[in-house]
A and B are shown apart, each in its own frame.
Chain A
Amino acid sequence: MVVKVIKNFFNKTFGGFFGKKKEIVLGFYGPPNAGKTSLANKICKDWTGEEIGTVSKVPHETRNVQIREKVEIEYNGKRLTLKLIDTPGIATKIDYEEFLKFGMGKKDSQKRAKEATQGVVESIKWLDDVNLVIVVLDATLNPYSQVNITIIGNLIARKIPVMIVGNKTDLKKADLRRIQSAFPEYDTVGISAKSGKGMKDFYELLFKTAKKV
């Protein structure tokens, strides 16, 4: 009886420290159209069979933060329980006329632009609530954008572990080395969320980065 009482006391008091690891709140950050939702979908499909959100060629498809809890992933006998936070792309400007080029009507474009601005505000707010971040960049584009630098600067200031994913490596213009030379202090992996190319390396790096949480 005494042993049981002591055991319960220790479990209640120190369970959080020595017990099962807490769920990691994993944020997907990056500029619009880099493939954050495609990657989050790939992970969700791999481990839960369901997707987290819709994807589109039109920028700012994700305009609300999308959450999927208790995603358990396993790699080489190790397990992680993740809460996935798929955030709207961060931008410094949003022009509804850009959406017209994709065949959208003026009213819909204006509505999309308004929702996208609110999405950016929401994404930045979530920086306070994530404890691991995947910065998703389009490997076909120049990585030296202020949005990318601001996101990574904020993660450094908040001491949040970060890994960088260069997406769209299935495309000819993709250049992962450009991303690696822009951010040499960070682990970078090249993937194609669309085709699944590079996902083995991705999971390996995810487990490595998760150790820092």
Chain B
Amino acid sequence: MRKRKIRIARNNVTLSFVPYSEIANLTSIDKIKKILDMALDNRIIIIQGRLTPNEEASLIQSTMVLVGKIKDFKGVEIAVISGTGEESGFFKRFKEGLAKALVGDQSALTVIGPASIVKEIKRDPKKIELLLNK
């Protein structure tokens, strides 16, 4: 699958779709670096698959380090939509198949956006809504 970039010129918001194949072989550090580079470039990233819990925690840590160092960078909004659309389903599968979750669940989508652009990602078990800053 090719990487797609959708630019909505009016509001200058860029959505970048990152297929699983593009991050599957990256180390955790490189995945996080790639994501944060895109976030710092003011892009909203949609990743096919999800990060491991450890990578998610490292992403939060790295984000916080950057918030303290880069002017006007306030952090990111993150949301993961599981394939079933139900978090309880996700946790059940997570517990049953930790190995699968640790190598990446391709049926999930991860949405990450810089906090300067994405005000909030509202979610419930079945849908997510991206609220953008004016």
**A contact residues vs B (CB 8 Å cutoff):** 90-95, 113-114, 117-118, 120-121, 124-125, 127, 142, 144-147, 149-150, 152-154, 156-157, 181-185
Cross-chain contact A117 with B65 (CB below 8 angstroms): yes
Whether B60 pairs with A120 at a CB distance below 8 angstroms is yes
**Neighbouring A residues of B122 by C-beta, 8 Å:** 142
Of B57, B90, B94, B123, which contacts A124 at CB under 8 A? B57
Are the C-beta atoms of A183 and B88 separated by less than 8 Å?
yes
Contacts of A118 in B (CB 8 A): 64, 68
Contact A183 B124, beta carbon cutoff 8 Å: no
Whether A117 contacts B67 by the Cβ 8 Å rule is yes
Q: A120-B61, A157-B102 are in contact. Are A92 and B87 (CB under 8 A)?
A: no
Cβ B57 vs Cβ A150 within 8 A: yes
CB of B92, distance to nearest CB on chain A (Å): 7
Q: Is the CB of A150 within 8 A of B95?
A: no
Given contacts A92-B60, A154-B54, 16 further A-B contacts (CB under 8 A): A92-B76, A94-B64, A117-B68, A120-B60, A121-B61, A124-B57, A127-B57, A142-B123, A146-B77, A146-B121, A150-B78, A154-B57, A156-B53, A157-B53, A157-B54, A157-B98
Classify the interface of chain B: helix, strand, loop or mixed.
Answer: helix
| Nearest Cβ on chain B to A87's Cβ, whole angstroms | 13
Q: Give the distance to chain B from A153, nearest Cβ to Cβ, in Å.
A: 4
Find out whether the CB atom of B57 lies under 8 angstroms from the CB atom of A93: no
Pick from B68, B75, B123: contact of A114, CB below 8 A: B68
State whether the Cβ of B33 lies closer than 8 Å to any Cβ in chain A: no
Chain A minimum-CB-distance residue to B98 = A157
User: How many Å lie between the Cα of A156 and that of B98 in the bound state?
Assistant: 9
B57 — which chain A residues lie within 8 A by C-beta? 124, 127, 150, 154
Question: Contacts of A124 on B, CB cut-off 8 Å?
Answer: 57, 60-61
